Amino acid sequence: MDNMENEVISKNFIEQIIDEDLAEGHYDHVQTRFPPEPNGYLHIGHAKAILLSYGIAQKYNGKFNMRFDDTNPTKEKVEFVESIKADIKWLGADWEDRLFFASDYFGEMYEAAVKLIKKGKAYVCDLTADEIREYRGTLKEPGKNSPYRDRSVEENLALFEAMKNGEYEDGSKVLRAKIDMSSPNINMRDPVIYRVAHISHHRTGDEWCIYPMYDFAHPIEDAIEGITHSLCTLEFEDHRPLYDWVVKELEYEQPPKQIEFAKLYLTNVVTGKRYIKKLVEDGIVDGWDDPRLVSIAALRRRGFTPESIKKFVELVGISKSQSSVDYAMLEYCIREDLKLKKPRMMAIVDPVKVIIDNYPEGQVEYFDVVNNPENEELGTRKVPFSREIYIEREDFMEEPPKKYFRMFPGNEVRLMNAYFVKCNSFVKDENGNVTEIHCTYDPETRSGSGFTGRKVKGTIHWVSAAHAVEAEMRLYENIVDEEKGKLNEDGELNLNPNSLRITKGYVEENLADAKSEESFQFVRQGYFCVDMKDSSKDNLVFNRIVSLKSSFKLPS
């Protein structure tokens, strides 16, 4: 009994509604959908909606439909259609053979509008868009009837057909639902359900010059496809009475049910299409998939995994109340996903050369290195060691502060998986930059030899210079200046000038054949992946997914 109670408590409010609908016989199955408009790339908020609708269908052994809501040809592109399909497949939401387009139903939507006209529930209106807004009223004042509201059924049918036949200019006439101009819900004050638009559509070409409005098309699409539970974000809550009105007046036998949930908001990230479009056009980012953005394509290119995004959506949860989530939670999820899966490799982001003066010239040793100390199943690899190596510039200081245990003149450190070396001298260029460091090594301290003599406090990683592979490293920060906040007084983005830092570094030879999107942990530097767009065998490019350190703590 206790287990049953726990199961009920753990269900979110949507699952509880579905359980009730099934128990009461409103539906005998569950079918959900994800209906994006193909006018941009999907972002992390859409991932929540996708995974929720797909997850619900999976949980109830139901079906999940993929449908493009392509009712607004002014903003839609085939590029966006293809990117959305790729993103959803990558997330693992499988629509099987159920890929639909709203444009598939334009004929049925037209007939639905004719049915409403015949029932006296829709009329052709000649008011301009500004006049319609003026007549609509306000939240405190009711609207007033259009002077065209009482046209006869016959006149409305003739006018609507003439609209379809291209006899009127854009904006000259619309079809409106006849509901209630005094409704407290403004969405019910005779909303526009069709408009004239002489625009070529990316799928239907010039077949249509009138297009349905989303609030009219959406419930019809759901009903035609047999959707049972239409999951939407909270901004559609006030539109639900119109959704219900449409399916009721069109007399669908098993009308779908709209349920709203809270959107996913991340702190200090850019999701607005207007802002992203400007960033792209101004050349600040290199496309909708720039790794500093949180479009799904950008997160994938950055190196996030579908598993990490699913974990993130689970942690955020499903509720009816709006809230913002710290970006650090998303970073926590990718660290948790990668830490046991990925090998820990040696790579130098900002290199300086070290010469081991007493190491034999031309000699190369290979050390057995554990790929992941936390996961023995990943095995070991061989890493070459030679007289000249690269280390991180920050691992050497000419005049170190107290408690600095890395390399400095006179100090001895362990080279990870290799030997103890002692820094003896260094060379600077004319600008005062250290160009090379000279050390000596102690052959008795070889890693794995069982050496138990003196101890050293510092251990640093390295890459053999003779075997190193040059690579471009892209180090990312938030594109928004977190201290100043997202927007300035002019409503423009406060951009972080350090959102991208590019360095030329070196990786161990085992990474020479790293494949596109393959990811690794680089010792002390974080998790990196091979850039899917710019990297090649002759020019390796690594994106830092996330650093190793996290300030995020799961709530207890």
What does the pLDDT read at residue 554?
67
Amino acid identity of residue 517, one-letter, is E
pLDDT score for 486: 79
Compute the CA torsion angle 37, 41, 44, 49 (nearest 10 deg).
Answer: 20
Percent of the chain with pLDDT over 70: 97
Candidate from 89-93, 322-326, 527-531 with smallest mean pLDDT? 322-326
Looking at residues 422-448, what average pLDDT do you find? 95
Per CATH, the number for 344-546 is: 2.40.240.10
* Distance set, CA 63 to CA 13, 33, 59, 105, 342 (Å): 20, 8, 10, 20, 34
In contact, 437 and 352? CB cutoff 8 Å = yes
State the average pLDDT over residues 258-273.
Answer: 90
CATH topology of domain 273-338: Glutamyl-tRNA Synthetase; domain 2 (1.10.1160)
What's the pLDDT band for 323 if we cut at 50, 70, 90? Answer: confident
* C-alpha to C-alpha distances, 172 to 148, 169, 386, nearest whole angstrom: 13, 6, 79
Specify the pLDDT at position 450: 81
Q: Which H or E run includes 83?
A: helix 78-91
Domain 15-101+215-266 fold: Rossmann fold (3.40.50)
Count other C-beta atoms under 10 Å from residue 494's C-beta: 15
Sequence-distant (≥ 6) Cβ neighbours of residue 214 within 8 angstroms: 37, 69, 71, 72
pLDDT > 90 in the chain, percent: 87
Beta bridge partners of 232: 260
**Greatest distance between any 2 Cα atoms in the chain:** 101
**In what helix (H) or strand (E) does residue 544 lie, and over which residues does it extend?**
strand 540-546
Q: Where in the chain is the domain with CATH 3.40.50.620?
A: 15-101+215-266
**Taking all residues of the chain, what is their mean pLDDT, rounded to a whole number?**
94
Query: What pLDDT does residue 324 have?
Result: 87
Specify the domain boundaries for CATH 3.90.800.10 within the chain.
106-211
Q: Which CATH number fits domain 106-211: 3.90.1480.20, 2.40.160.10, 3.50.50.60, 3.90.800.10?
A: 3.90.800.10
Give the residue among 178, 128, 123, 126 at the shortest CA–CA distance from 155: 123
Structure tokens at 211: 């297009």
Question: Which tokens is 422 given?
Answer: 């002692």
Element spanning 273, H or E: helix 273-281
Burial of 165 per CB tally in 10 Å (0-12, 13-18, 19+)? exposed
Give me Rg for the CA atoms of the chain: 31
Least Cα distance to 261 among 86, 81, 55 occurs for 55
- The pair phi, psi for residue 406, each rounded to 5°, is -90, -155
Determine the pLDDT at residue 198.
Answer: 96
What pLDDT score was predicted for residue 240? 97
Residues 6+ apart with CB under 8 A from 437: 352, 353, 354, 355, 391, 396, 407, 423, 425, 426, 427
pLDDT tens digits, one per residue of 80-92: 999 999 999 999 9
Task: Please list, in sequence order, all residues whose beta carbon lies within 8 angstroms of the beta carbon of residue 328, skipping any fewer than 6 positions away.
Answer: 550, 551, 552
Amino acid at 447: S
Portions of the chain given CATH number 1.10.1160.10: 273-338
